[in-house]
Structure 1
Amino acid sequence: MNRCKFIEKFNKLRKSSSNSIDNIQIFDGFRKYMHVIRATEMDLKKILSAVNLSGKKTLVLLCGSAGDGKSHLLSYLKNSDTDHLLDGYSVFNDATESNAPDKTAVETLCKRLEDFNDDNIGKPGSNAIIAINLGVLSNFIESEWALNFSFLRKYVKSSNIMTSEVTNTTYVDNSNFQHISFSDYHMFSMDKGKITPDYIEALFEKIASNDEKNEFYAAYTDDCSVCPLGSQCPIRMNYKFLTDAKVRHYIALMLVKVILKDKEILTTRELLNYIYDIVVAPGFDYAKFYKSSATPSLFLKEFLNCIMPSLLFDNVDISAIMNKTRKYDPLLNRNEAEDDIAIEYYVSDDVTKTVKSIVDESAYSSILCDPSYADIINEDKTVKSKLFNVLIRIRDLMNDNGYEEMFLKYISDLYNYNIGKTPKLASLYSDIEDAVMRWCGNEDDDNICIDDSHKNFAIYEDIKFDPFLDNIPSPSSSEKIEKFLPYVVAEFKNGNDAPIHIDIDYSLYELIEKLKAGYVQTAEDRNNHADFISFISKILKTGSSNESITILSETGQKAKLEKTKFGTYKFEVVK
């Protein structure tokens, strides 16, 4: 037996699978089962309902990036949605799809949208909906082909579709154009200052649930039960491990870290492929593995390499997502307590009790707690070392510890910003002020250093940090939000109309917190945070240097140079 029907089912999740690309004419049972209702779908359906009631010829733009679910949603609405909202629509699954290979993507799009150019927009016709990547849309509206699409171009510009701002996704009255952008939505929501990875967990649940329509679970219970390798198969055990809700939640929270901390774009297609990668070991060969089971030491080594705790963190360059998640390996959480655990394990002559205490309730207990493997585990240094890594990971995967304090603080400020709770952002603005002072250096009166290039003295100025709060999002009527910026925008007045703003992602937030606590920035910080340096440069221009400066000598003497009302300067030694 060289084929594994169970793995064949999982192949449907791979990016290379034909199942990863939706055809708007087909929505089979597998796609229907895997469908998860998202806020994107609900908002789009509201717009479509309003369009259908208006009687106005309308083009609906379904925008986003490759693999985020645009095609899947179109296919679902066209073939399976009971409301039949797309009846009578011209539906284009791919803006660049063409039967004329000699045409460019922009030319193809121009033809697709012909009924909505300036010459035809006022003429009767049917509604249309098109799935379009933001890059293609940007190229189109900036091209010469868009000269005859001035109304569409104006709509795209005014709707901020091409910006990082969260766009309005309600129906626009009396407009021939409507849109939904997948880039405004996330795989998680925020509720009362906490992260809920609902979409990620919903997809995990689809794959792991005991449901008669679930092809994966059916193969697990039927095909695997008659497989000669079934009781020893790491792939089957990986799936069983995934049926543990605590494990799924741990992985989902880790993926949220990858999105917010590492700014990795995680699409539905990438997520499904990731699930395949953490269940099916790369290059897994049924026959080879079956053969290894005849040699216990070889089998254990192969087994430990193929189980999920190893697949999650040991594989390099399998995918961009897996490269990022390796940073969150529980083995990297070094502290005195963890070091003591490692020392006790490695000096012990018999670790079977330790192994049993950690993995007894896991999917891997039948192998790792099998007495027949005890001698190998205790005596084979390679096996013992690899098993330690697995044990620490299983321990954490099955016992969710949530997020670390710094990340929780960031999420709280991110939530308060996006939900419009201005008073709760006061401490963040204070932290930014402290961070700027620490970065530049300050003296007793909290004046900020603007020039320390001189040998015997440094020059300081007074800066009044004046927050500009007018652009903070309006207060939300709901405590749960699903559309939000993944960073905080902080702004300060500069004396003119345009405020000085800084986008605070997690990396910069962490730096600000460290600076506030006394951390001294490094050359690497300066290289990684050019945006913060630019912000500081603009803030310094709002200071008092045109009117007054403080001069501090290396011996501690202090003097002030002030401009008088008569345009002359007054010099005074104050210390």
Structure 2
Amino acid sequence: MGNCKFVDELNRLRKSSSDSIDGTDTFDDFKKYMHVSRSAEKDLIEILYKIADSGRKSLVMLCGSAGDGKSHLLSYLKNDLRLLDNYVVYNDATESSAPSKTAIETLSEALQGFSDENLEKPGKNFILAINLGVLSNFVESSYGDSFKQLRQYVINSNILTNQLNEKGYEENSAFQHISFSDYHMYNLTAHGVKPEYLEHLLEKVFRKEFENPFYNVYNNNCKKCFLSQKCPVKHNFEFLANEKNRKYVANALVEVTIKDKEILTTREILNYIYDIIVAQNFNCEKIAQSLTNEVSFLKEYISDITPSLMYEYIDKSVLLNRLKKYDPLLIRSEQADEDAISYYVSSDVLNEVISVLDKEVYSKVLCQQSAIEKINSDKVLKAQLFNILERLKKIKSDTIHDDAYMSFLKMLYYFNTGTTKKYGELYDLVEKAVIQWCGKEDQDNICFNNCHEGIALYEHIEFEPYLDASLSTKKNEELRIFLPFITVKYESKKTGEIISLDIDYSLYELIYKLTAGYIQTAEDRNNHADFISFIHKILRTGSADKEVFLVTDDNRKAIVEKTKFGVYKFKVVR
């Protein structure tokens, strides 16, 4: 890539770049420029100031997963803000200090000042970046026996559970923590998601300011390049300099975290940004050679622009593979079919191309008269361009047409804000989904057994929602700390048992489809054992121990009732 200074500069975004490695000893100008403040950072800084005011020796834990930004944050706090001058900084709890020692043993030695024996003795503050798995192994190990108070803090703070901890600084405690798993790449509002962090990160790369190192190289070199008017990399950069186009990318990344539980790290996101700007085999010389044949050049150009790079490459990265499932081309609708027919039967696609590409940077190449002539006459080129046009329509649209997704976001907000009055709609969906899954007969009785040949057994279910009084009501318009799933609870009138179900997006989508009449498949049964278990528990709350309805294949019906004397009565209804 040495023949293109701009691509060399963009290469700093890649995971393989030395710039992606964070250490606590330095925080260079590039990292300083790329730094984007996050909610976890703000909360941690507040804790550090309160520790300074308290004068108490403290252990601060930054908990999370690999690559989520713990090292970067430590480096920023230490070198840029100078907030860790009075702290011992322990950055990697997965490494051992000696070949003969395990990481857990090394960690135990490092934390001796906070063992039960030494907790009240004077000493230096300590800040520790630690993965949740390592923390769990440590407090449960034999070394953890010397840290019983730390173990109790971990338990009381729900650090290793899926419950939220919103306490912040805990007075009179030697232990404090921030868990990155409590925070997300987006905030949640009553109207959907607000991906502020992602948008700010994208803005850092594409901002038209000379303090932006990428824009600096672009401005100084791309205009002089002999490929300037034909370069897909330059045009991709200009395409994503448009805030609206970046917003689409940010929302697409949020969608994959919610739908597929993809854990996004800043490192992965920056690598993804590179992947949608620079094609895998991009080469200036190759582009220059293709200019001798306009059809070859156009095919190469279309495959190398962002709307193609986002969806057409497989096995380049896990993130690109995930996003490929949400290619706008996979959304079928009557309008989409009509657009496709109209485009492919047209002998001249100029108007269709201009209507979509007008004002987009790619029009400099694709709306030229000679390009349109080649597109009209080459079937492969015409099909390639159709894909681009359909994706650009979605990118330029402000509307999300996924009803299940939007409904889930709304319910997720109601759940996390404790908006009880809105729960009725959610519980109604769950109950309808259970009935659809099991099947019902005309008296609204639910099937609980259809294993007998020619006969299905039904019972009456009274769903009794249980609203947890401990749920706090939040008046926030925007949530930055929240659970990424919804929990519904029902109470058995028979036993008082509380039957709960955690609903992530995948299960919510199934529930949403069931309420619309969808019939579950074997794959659904394999993927949602939690829902099946929940249904079985709900069925145990029904009337089967007192009254059972039998329905035959030819629709004859009978009732078996248990009398007060413990005997059963059989009655044919029809």
- TM-score, normalised relative to structure 2: 0.96
In structure 2, what is the equivalent of residue 31 of structure 1? 31
SS of residue matched to 1:265: coil
Aligned counterparts, 1:439-454, within 5 A: 439-454=437-452
Matched residue of 1:314: which SS? coil
**Aligned equivalent of 2:137:** 139
1:256 aligns to what SS in structure 2? helix
Distance 1:438 1:117, change over 3 A: same
How far 1:496 sits from its partner (Å)? 4.4
Cα separation, 2, equivalents of 1:366 and 1:255: 28
Aligned to 2:61, the other structure's residue is in SS state strand
Contact 2:427 2:465 in 1 (8 A): yes
Q: In the TM superposition, what whole-angstrom CA distance separates every residue of 1:114-172 from its partner, at most 9, and x where no partner exists? A: 21122222211011111111121122222222221111112112211111122234111
The equivalent of 1:155 in structure 2 is 153
The amino acid across from 1:71 in the alignment is S
Farther off after superposition, 190-199 or 395-404 = 395-404
Map of 1:16 onto structure 2: 16
The CA distance in 1 between the partners of 2:2 and 2:294, in whole Å, is: 21
Aligned to 1:369, which of 357, 361, 367? Answer: 367
- The separation in 2 between residues aligned to 1:470 and 1:492, in whole angstroms, is 10
For the 8 Å contact 1:59–1:178, the answer to whether it is kept is yes
Alignment check: 8 A CA contact 1:296 1:373 kept: yes
Contact 1:63 1:181 in 2 (8 A): yes
Please say if 1:327 is aligned against 2:325: yes
Question: 2-side partners of 1:472 and 1:246: how far apart?
Answer: 41
**SS where residue 489 of structure 2 aligns?**
strand
String of CA shifts for 1:377-396, please: whole Å, max 9, x gaps.
Answer: 22122222111111221222
Q: Distance in 2 between matches of 1:375 and 1:548?
A: 75
The amino acid that maps onto 2:519 is V
Q: How does 1:200-239 map to 2 (within 5 A)?
A: 200-239=198-237
| 3-state SS of paired residue (1:354) | helix
In structure 2, distance between residues paired with 1:243 and 1:188:
21
Q: Tell me, in whole angstroms, the C-alpha distance in 1 between the residues paired with 2:451 and 2:127.
A: 61
Note the C-alpha offset of 1:498. 4.8
CA contact (8 A) 2:132 2:160 kept: yes
1:540 aligns with: 539
- In structure 2, C-alpha distance between the alignment counterparts of 1:420 and 1:144, rounded to whole Å: 41
- Using the TM superposition, give the Cα deviation of residue 208 of structure 1 relative to its aligned residue in structure 2, in angstroms: 1.0
Question: Aligned in 2, Cα 1:472/1:3: closer, same or farther, shift over 3 Å?
Answer: farther
In 2, Cα distance between the equivalents of 1:195 and 1:2? Answer: 40
Which secondary structure does the structure 2 equivalent of 1:190 belong to?
strand
Which sections of structure 2, spanning at least 5 residues, go unmatched?
none
1:207 deviates by 0.9
SS in 2 for 1:135: helix
Distance 1:135 1:471 in 2: 32
14-23 vs 451-460, which moves further: 451-460
Asked if the contact 1:419–1:479 (Cα under 8 Å) also holds between the matched residues in 2, the reply is no
**Paired position in structure 1 for 2:48:** 48
Map Cα deviations across residues 504-551 of structure 1 (whole Å, 9 max, x no partner). Answer: 112211211222222221212111211111111111111222222222
1:357–1:518 distance in 2 versus 1, CA, 3 Å: closer
Secondary structure of the residue that 2:560 maps to in structure 1?
strand
How far apart are 1:471 and its partner, in Å? 6.2
AA matched with 1:220: Y
Q: SS of the residue aligned with 2:162?
A: coil
Q: Report the Cα offset of residue 362 of structure 1.
A: 0.8
1:73 partner letter: L
**Which amino acid counterpart does residue 25 of structure 1 have in structure 2?**
D
Which deviates further from its counterpart, 471-480 or 415-424?
471-480
Determine if contact 1:438/1:516 at 8 Å carries over to the other structure.
Answer: yes
Residues 563 and 151 from structure 1, CA distance in 2 versus in 1: closer, same or farther, beyond 3 angstroms? Answer: same
SS at match of 2:287: helix
User: Does residue 1:501 correspond to 2:466, yes or no?
Assistant: no
CA RMSD of aligned residues (A): 1.8
SS in 2 for 1:221: helix
TM-score under structure 1 normalisation?
Answer: 0.96
Say if 1:352 and 1:172 are closer, same or farther in 2 by CA, change over 3 A.
Answer: same
The Cα of 1:212 is off from its aligned counterpart by 2.3
Q: Is the 8 A contact 1:422 1:472 kept in 2?
A: no
Note if 1:416 corresponds to 2:414.
Answer: yes
Q: Equivalences for 1:277-292 in 2 at 5 Å?
A: 277-292=275-290
Give the conservation status (yes or no) of the 8 Å contact 2:2–2:8. no
Q: How far apart in 2 are the matches of 1:35 and 1:551? A: 66
Worse overlay, 301-310 or 489-498: 489-498
Shift in Å, 1:398:
2.4
**Residue aligned with 2:375, SS:** helix
Tell me, yes or no, if structure 1 residue 352 matches structure 2 residue 350. yes
Cα distance in 2 between the residues matched to 1:74 and 1:332 = 42
Distance in 1 between the 2:287 and 2:535 partners? 59
CA contact (8 A) 1:2 1:286 kept: no
TM-aligned CA deviation for residue 558 of structure 1:
3.0
Letter in 2 for 1:75: S
Matched residues in 1 for 2:565 and 2:417: separation? 49
8 A Cα contact 2:97 2:103, kept in partner: no
- Alpha-carbon offset, residue 489 of structure 1: 0.7
8 Å Cα contact 1:261/1:507 also seen in 2: yes
Give the aligned partner of residue 556 of structure 1: 555
Q: Which residue is 1:243 aligned to?
A: 241
Partners of 1:544 and 1:469 in 2: how far apart? 23
Partner residue in 2 for 1:398 = 396
Q: Which moved more, 1:137-146 or 1:214-223?
A: 137-146
Residue pairs, 1:108-147, within 5 angstroms: 108-147=106-145
Tell me the alpha carbon deviations over residues 52-101 of structure 1, each in whole angstroms, 9 at most, x when there is no partner.
222221111101111111111111111112xx432301112222344434
CA offset at residue 244 of structure 1?
Answer: 1.0
- Give 1:523's aligned residue: 522
Classify the secondary structure of the residue corresponding to 1:559: strand
Partners of 2:141 and 2:283 in 1: how far apart? 50
Query: 2: CA distance between counterparts of 1:394 and 1:439?
Result: 39
Q: Which residue of 2 is the match for residue 513 of structure 1?
A: 512
Please tell me whether residue 309 in structure 1 is matched to residue 307 in structure 2.
Answer: yes
The Cα of 1:478 is off from its aligned counterpart by: 1.5
Inter-partner Cα distance in structure 2 for 1:562 and 1:336? 52
Identical aligned residues as a percent: 51
